[in-house]
Amino acid sequence: MSTPKANQPALTIPPAVQHARIHGLGSYRPERVVSNAEICENIDSSDEWIQQRTGIIERRFAAPDESIIDMSEAASLQAMKQAGVTADDIDFILFATISHPYQTPAAAPLLAIRLGITSPGALDLSAACAGYCYGISMANDMVRSGSAKYVLVVGVEKLSDYVDPHDRGSAFIFADGAGAAVVGPSDFPGIGPTLYGSDGDKWDNIVQKDSWLNLREAIENPESGLTPRWPYIEMKGQSVFRWAVFSIAPIAKKTLEASGVTPDQLDAFVPHQANMRISDAMVKAMKLPEDVPVARDIATTGNTSAASVPLAMHRMLQAGDAPSGGLALQIGFGAGLAYAAQVVVMP
Ligand code: UT7
């Protein structure tokens, strides 16, 4: 084991802070409402089937010229307002998305410019539907270790650009929207331990159909026999469904135990809005008492991947379905397959 060299100075490190919490939450839903009937213009399906199998009645799609930066700007401004912080207070932006249309650079620095945040640490997180909950975990650790005072965590998607409207297996489920949270120092523990993990064996369960390299080969080498096509996201729905119900529901239970919270002490359960039937199965597996409010934002918002947890929690708080200051279990899961879950005190 190596030890510090003799006579060298000990490194100066920032003073740690004991606790962190979410100080403010914001959300943005695009204006355009897309009905199941409209989705069924492109796939062999029905309003009845979509409602029964997913709980989705309608979803929102962003306008063609509306970007993930536009959507996250609106959500972030709300979160910053509730947190009582200005652009000058934000040290770091963690930007969770899988729908930024540039390989590089990241979206986070662009959002910083929009919000007038000068020179923050800024990077994107690629953990799909678990991205926001990973972001909350990382922001918590950054604030507590003293490496940042206020961290802006964004979950945003414009999946209408990446889902094939003719794909019967996914066109009806995914949608667009943004959520944001400001995490900062606190007098009490506001973010419990995060349980996270991944299963790379199921990497192909939710996947961009073709790699960019295949697309390049198809364009540059017509003799390759490859068809140049937009690499839409493809999902093995049944397999993901089973994984969510059998592997992720127990994680929800363990997350409560890690925080020292029993199901009846929860003021809200906010699972990733993947499918209403998955949420119901988790509620059952956790033996969640009937009076604990469960997020059901998917009905009118669809599955917005990284944005779904903050969108759903914000709606519950705004509607008075969950109390500010109360305890919520939030859990994100999806492509990777990856998951992250924690109990938080709601702002
Ligand atoms: O956010 C990331 C994580 N994602 C998820 O958690 C999604 C998890 N998966 C799901 O939510 C579900 O698997 C879906 C909603 C995607 C699909 O529902 P399902 O109950 O798993 O459908 P299935 O694939 O098992 O198909 C059942 C039946 C089949 O017909 P038969 O063979 O029973 O006659 C399909 O052909 O439903 C049929 N079907 C459809 N019917 C109408 C499949 N897709 C459709 C459709 N419209 N779009």
Q: What is the pLDDT of residues 31-43, one digit of tens each?
A: 999 999 999 999 9
On the 0-12 / 13-18 / 19+ scale of CB atoms within 10 A, 230 is exposed
pLDDT tens-place string over residues 102-158: 999 999 999 999 999 999 999 999 999 999 999 999 999 999 999 999 999 999 999
For residue 282, is pLDDT > 90? yes
pLDDT tens column, 244-271: 999 998 999 999 999 999 999 999 999 9
**Ligand 1 near 236 CB (within 6 A):** no
End-to-end CA distance of the chain: 44
From atom 47 of ligand 1, which residue's Cα is the shortest distance away? 45
Q: Which of 281, 266, 312 is nearest to 133 (CA)?
A: 312
Over range 320-347, report the average pLDDT. 98
- Of residues 129, 133, 205, 275, which has the active-site annotation? 129
Domains 19-186 and 195-203+232-345 share a fold: yes
Q: Where are the domains of the chain?
A: 19-186, 195-203+232-345
CA gap 182, 23 in Å, rounded: 6
pLDDT band at 1 (very low <50, low <70, confident <90, very high): confident
Bridge partner residues of 329 (DSSP):
269, 343
Whether 129 is catalytic is: yes
Task: Please identify, by atom number, the ligand 1 atom nearest to the C-alpha of residue 168.
Answer: 48
Tell me what pLDDT residue 317 has: 98
Q: Ligand 1 centre from 343 Cα, in Å?
A: 30
Catalytic residue among 100, 133, 303, 314: 303
Residue 344 has pLDDT above 80, yes or no: yes
Binding site membership of 303 for ligand 1 (Cβ less than 6 Å):
yes
- Residue of the nearest CA to atom 40 in ligand 1? 45
- Respond yes or no: is residue 221 known to be catalytic: no
Rounded to an integer, what distance in angstroms lies between the CA atom of residue 83 and that of residue 22?
A: 8
Share of the chain above pLDDT 70, in %: 100
Question: Ligand 1 pocket, 163 CB below 6 A?
Answer: no
Cα of 44 from ligand 1 centre, angstroms: 12
166 is annotated as an active-site residue? no
Question: C-alpha dihedral over 138, 154, 147, 343, to 10 degrees?
Answer: -40
Percent of the chain at pLDDT above 90? 95
* Banded model confidence at residue 166, pLDDT cuts 50, 70, 90: very high
Sign of the alpha-carbon dihedral angle for 163, 165, 169, 174: positive
What is the tens place of the pLDDT at every residue in 32-76? 999 999 999 999 999 999 999 999 999 999 999 999 999 999 999
Q: Is 53 in the pocket of ligand 1 (CB under 6 A)?
A: yes
CATH code, 19-186: 3.40.47.10
Does 68 contact ligand 1 (Cβ within 6 A)? no
**Residue 45 CB less than 6 A away from ligand 1:** yes
C-alpha count within 13 angstroms, C-beta hemisphere, residue 5: 4
Architecture of domain 195-203+232-345: 3-Layer(aba) Sandwich (3.40)
The H or E element spanning position 328 is strand 327-334
